[in-house]
A and B are shown apart, each in its own frame.
Chain A
Amino acid sequence: MTEETETRTEGMAGIRDVVSVRLPAASAYLSVLRTATAGLAARLDFTLDEIEDLRIAVDEACAMLLTQAVPGTDLTAEFELTGQEMQVSVEVSTVGSTAPKRDDFAWMVLTALADEVDAVTDSPDRMAIVLRKRRGAARPA
């Protein structure tokens, strides 16, 4: 048995490590968000494979949201970095949102790459997908 060590929840100098990115809700900007995702994941010492998983997962989540986003509005992404985990919350403005189809191929890929995925559709004018990925977590083959 090893002693439980307290999980680090604060970054350097006691600052909460949260990064927000706001982009036009348009597919042309997804590559920018993927680059940001990879850069932030590298800060947490994720492995190359884990960084790729996150890049694909964030992209799939955004691709789903963009099909429902109101043209001309923004997509916001909030990355929260703790010691072992990254939580990414992506959100768009919608007009009456419908939950992603759970049997969809893209949803299957998304859930296979992230440790946890939730779709937040409780508001009619916003839709969000929250995903979490832990460092060094075992992934189903």
Chain B
Amino acid sequence: MDLSTHSYPDWTVCRVTGDVDIFTGNAFREQLLAVVDRPGCRILIDLSGVTFMDANGLGILVFARRAAISGGGTLRLLAPTVAMRRLLTASGLAGLFTVSLDLADARRAEPFHTDEPPPRSSRHRLTQV
């Protein structure tokens, strides 16, 4: 399992690759929750490279979604694979998540509207301290 994060002005894309099972679940939980910890975060979880996910992994996605929303943010899934779609259907949680095919699709569905500067500014603030 590997989780890489790429931040755009409007969305943070977390690309998950490999197997998410009980062997890799803890690393997945820690890395993902660190990303959704920021208030107002806009997270896209790219699942196109997931080769396997178990119910525990899906539970972590549910928890991350709740954390993002409770912080005033949002969380969408990107391009789930066959394995992911079967898990979402079997668990009855398919309807909980909004799914986009790609970044452009997510931008159309949920545009970024704000007068505040993009999240990038937080980094400048840190360097000023």
Contact = CB atoms under 8 A, between A and B. Distances in A.
Interface in B27-68: 52, 54-56, 58-59
Interface string B9-22: 00000000001011
B89 A56 contact: no
A73 interface: no
Contacts, number: 61
B109 interface: no
Contacts of B4: none
B82 interface: yes
A112 B87 CA distance: 10
B82 A106 contact: no
A63 B83 CA distance: 17
B22 A34 contact: no
Contacts of A49: 82, 86
Nearest to A106: B55
Contact of A59 (B54, B59, B90, B92): B54
B52 A53 contact: no
Interface residues of B, number: 18
A61 B89 CA distance: 18
A13 interface: no
Contacts of B70: none
B79 to A, nearest CB: 16
A133 interface: no
Interface in A79-131: 105-106, 108-110, 112-113
B59 A141 contact: no
Interface in A48-67: 48-49, 52-53, 55-56, 59-60, 63, 66
A105 B55 contact: yes
Contacts of A48: 82
Contacts of A28: 23
B91 interface: yes
Interface of A: 27-28, 30-31, 34, 48-49, 52-53, 55-56, 59-60, 63, 66, 105-106, 108-110, 112-113, 141
21 contacts: A27-B21, A27-B22, A30-B22, A31-B23, A31-B52, A34-B19, A48-B82, A49-B82, A52-B86, A53-B90, A55-B52, A56-B52, A56-B55, A66-B22, A105-B59, A105-B91, A106-B56, A108-B91, A109-B58, A112-B91, A141-B89
